[in-house]
Amino acid sequence: MAQAGRKKRSTHNSKMVSSLLARIQAILQKEMVREFLGEFMSTYVMMVLGLGSVAHMVLGDTKLGSYLGVNLGFGFGVTMGVHMAGNISGAHMNAAVTFTSCALGRMPWKKFPAYVLGQFLGSFLAAATTYMLFYTAIEHFADGELMVTGPKATAGIFATYLPNHMTLWRGFLDEVFLTGILQLCLFAITDKNNNPALQGTEALVIGILICVIGISLGMNSGYAINPSRDLPPRFFTFIAGWGEQVFRPPPLSCSAGDNWWWVPLVAPPLGAYLGGIIYLVFIGSSIPQEPRRLENSVTQEDRRTTVVPKTVSYKSSITPAYPVLVQPAPPLCDSILLERF
């Protein structure tokens, strides 16, 4: 009896587990959930690789890392992120790109919260992961103090801060311009009516684009060019011990950027939107548009063409017992042109 009772309980438990797994699977198969997870995972991968490269440059005293290494880390991090979720959510990994896609009608606004939430959570978790991986190195480098400015500053591992030669509004314009260049080139890379990247190479080309932007234009503002890259890690440093100085400069110091924190949140969406509009107006509208027509439609010129039936020849010496009938062609329908938008 006891053994039979255990079997019943085991069967009941297995059915409950199977039912729970089926419900979870059904939830995960929903389009919005898949897109959320795609943005979460792709952003996490990008940020872990990118922030790790910054940690090597800061903590390794230029022996284990370099500015070129940071650009390569973020560039190939983006490449891996595109491979991770390119066919699921598009792998935006950037709230500015998501905003532009919605603002220009390429994606419904109802998806915007799920995309941005996935990006922010993935970026925050990546910052936490980087902190745990490099915890002892950070403590050793900064002598146990978590500083935002100065020679022992480590907050720059996670978020961007303006250098002393920049002002707040110059940094704002810099972020607008750089994100505009990013969006302009993204449209060119993916525009199938122009000269897009070869199929299968899009992820690599986009990663190279990020790397080139950093190498060519990144020194002034740290090229955040992405609210999802800057704000979540900055918030992590706030709660992890760096304090409120990550949002406002310490007394008698301007090296933290005079409340720079809001610029990477506002400037990139504006820049991406302007870059997208510039591409569509100056490049997209100048691409010749060929009319598409239905497969079973013909033009007036086709209607005037005389169709000459081919002569049917028989290699056999046997004469057919019945004459070969040529069926008349069906009446031709009017052609229908479909303009491509």
% of the chain surpassing 90 pLDDT: 67
- Residue 109: what are its φ and ψ, rounded to 5°? -65, -25
Residue 182 has pLDDT above 90, yes or no: yes
pLDDT tens digits for range 28-59: 778 899 999 999 999 999 999 999 999 999 99
Closest CA to 341 of 180, 174, 104: 104
Contact 186, 178 (CB under 8 A): no
pLDDT tens digits for range 187-241: 999 999 999 999 999 999 999 999 999 999 999 999 999 999 999 999 999 999 9
DSSP annotation of 147: B
Where is pLDDT greater, at 25 or 255?
25
> How many other CB atoms are there within 10 angstroms of residue 209's CB atom?
19
Q: What is the CA 21 to chain-centroid distance, rounded?
A: 30
What is the C-alpha separation between 256 and 204, in angstroms, rounded? 33
The rounded radius of gyration (Å) of the Cα atoms in the chain is: 30
DSSP annotation of 240: I
What is the C-alpha separation between 267 and 122, in angstroms, rounded? 21
